[in-house]
Structure 1
Amino acid sequence: MRVIPIGEDSLLVDLDGAEQAQALYAELRRRGAEGELTGVREIVPAAQTVLLRGVDAPDGLAAELPRWHVPPLTLDDGPLVEIPVRYDGADLAIVAALWGVAPEEVPEVHARHEHRVAFCGFAPGFGYMTGLPEEYHVPRRDTPRTSVPAGSVALAGPYTSVYPSSSPGGWQLIGTTRLRLWDVNRDPAALLTPGTRVRFVPEDPARPGAGSAAARQPARNAGPS
């Protein structure tokens, strides 16, 4: 762990990998919710770092953080969201070939792994989810699409994500969901926030209304966000 001062009231914590960053983010949230961590306005996780903004006593926290015991994440850490998916993506056959399976096997392979939102970026509500073993990591497309429809379930590198709105994109498309990933009338507006566990549920593409079920969301932890 390396703690780097940023400006007058922020700290960037550099970790050894994604799992350590997710574990530290969970521990910061837990301590904030239980009143053990105060004077931090915002906590922002990324691929291998965690940024703390608005820190009242940055020097003291910078000295304290390396001494923390940060337990590894357990399977039941964080709220759970289920996302029904039609595995009908334009790149399904490409992903199947990269995985060495038949296209009809992709839903079972993808959905049997529980995912976790490591961080958000690119667009409002776009969550970068880890969970696929290394043998299922896939490259981005050589040529990005000029428009990817909202609700597209996609893979790139170690991540799965769902496009919250129509936008350009170079990820491999494996399916679609009708769930709204970003809704300004919802609190929080993003369906997927860092630390959320995600379970993908394959839907029958031939069944009317497939993918329209509501997500199941337990109450989210309080504390700094």
Structure 2
Amino acid sequence: MADWVRLGDRAIRFPRPAGTSAAALAQAVRSWPHVVDVVVGPSDVGAYFDADVPDLTGRVEALATARDERGAARVVLIGVRYDGPDLDAVARLLGMSRDELVALHTGAVYTVESIGFSPGFAYLTGLDPRLQLPRRDTPRPRVPAGSLAIAAGYTTVYPFDSPGGWHLIGTLADDAPMFDGHGARLQLGDRVRFVAGGDA
């Protein structure tokens, strides 16, 4: 497990330990001396330092038993409208009605498993297996901020206008942005529920 690699003098990358939550990993790595940022992805973890990186073999190995000590996860309700441009096509592709698709999507409780691609872009796990499909064959050059999307076993809300290859099934209905001057609305380990029809 200690096969970490340096990324220059002030950053490292290592494989994410199996069975350890994203929140526990981020919490543990942030406790290391001189850490200024941690990025937990689906398969790797990056840590960035404000000083030269020492030998971290022992610390990386200890992450296999890291536990989230924050207590109960925060639950975030997000109001959405199921009005995305891909909604009907996705329902047809999955062999269900749009009402069935909406019921499956709102019926799940999701977990923020990683944040990346752009600031505040949360990869939410927990998508019903019946809603899983690959990314679009052709990405869009611009996906509007606030777009609710699914792809490759995840769901998300785009925090900014950006290119994207996910299937757009809805739009953010409440006034709270996904990312603003105070940071990201969603944090690692948060539990998320989508509420159809408007404000949560």
Q: TM-score, normalized by length of structure 2?
A: 0.80
> How far apart in 2 are the matches of 1:102 and 1:73?
39
State the one-letter code of the partner of 1:12: R
When you count strand as a share of all residues, which structure comes out higher?
A: 2
Q: CA deviation at 1:175?
A: 1.0
Q: Does 1:139 align with 2:140?
A: no
> Counterpart amino acid of 1:132?
L
Write out the 4+ residue segments of structure 1 that deviate beyond 6 Å after TM superposition: none
Change (3 A) 1:55 1:121: same
Residues 147 and 12 of structure 1, relative CA distance in 2, 3 Å threshold = closer
Contact 1:153 1:177 in 2 (8 A): yes
Q: CA shift at 1:51, angstroms?
A: 0.9
- Measure the CA separation in 2 of the matches of 1:16 and 1:137: 25
Unaligned runs of 5+ in 2: none
Query: Per-residue deviation at 1:202?
Result: 1.5
Q: Which residue of 1 aligns with 2:48?
A: 53
* Cα gap change, 1:200 to 1:26, in 2 (>3 Å): same
* 1:196 matches 2:197: no
Whether 2:97 is the aligned partner of 1:96: answer no
> 1:28 touches 1:37 (CA, 8 Å); kept in 2?
no
Seen in structure 2, the aligned counterparts of structure 1 residues 77 and 138 have a Cα distance that, compared at 3 Å, is farther
Of residues 24, 36, 39, the one that matches 2:34 is: 39
Aligned Cα RMSD in Å?
Answer: 2.9
Question: Which of 170, 178, 190 does residue 181 from structure 1 map onto?
Answer: 178
Gaps of 5+ in 1: 204-209, 214-225
C-alpha spacing 1:137/1:73, structure 2 compared with 1 (3 Å): farther
1:32 offset after TM fit, Å? Answer: 6.5
For 1:121, the aligned partner's letter is: G
Most deviating of 78-87 and 64-73:
64-73
Q: Provide the secondary structure at the position in 1 that maps to 2:104.
A: helix
Deviation of 1:200 after TM superposition, in Å, equals: 0.9
Aligned partner letter, 1:173: L
State the partner residue of 1:163: 158
Letter in structure 2 aligned against 1:180: P
Paired with 1:67 and 1:156, the residues of 2 have a C-alpha distance of 33
Cα 1:164/1:57, change in 2 over 3 Å: closer
SS, match of residue 143 in structure 1: coil
Question: Against the structure 1 CA distance between its residues 5 and 134, is the aligned structure 2 distance closer, same or farther, given a 3 Å change threshold?
Answer: farther
Stretch deviating more after TM superposition (153-162 or 2-11): 2-11
- The 3 A distance-change label for structure 1 pair 134 and 105 is closer
Count of residues in Structure 1 that have an aligned counterpart in Structure 2: 196
Distance 1:159 1:192, change over 3 A: same
1:11 touches 1:62 (CA, 8 Å); kept in 2?
A: no
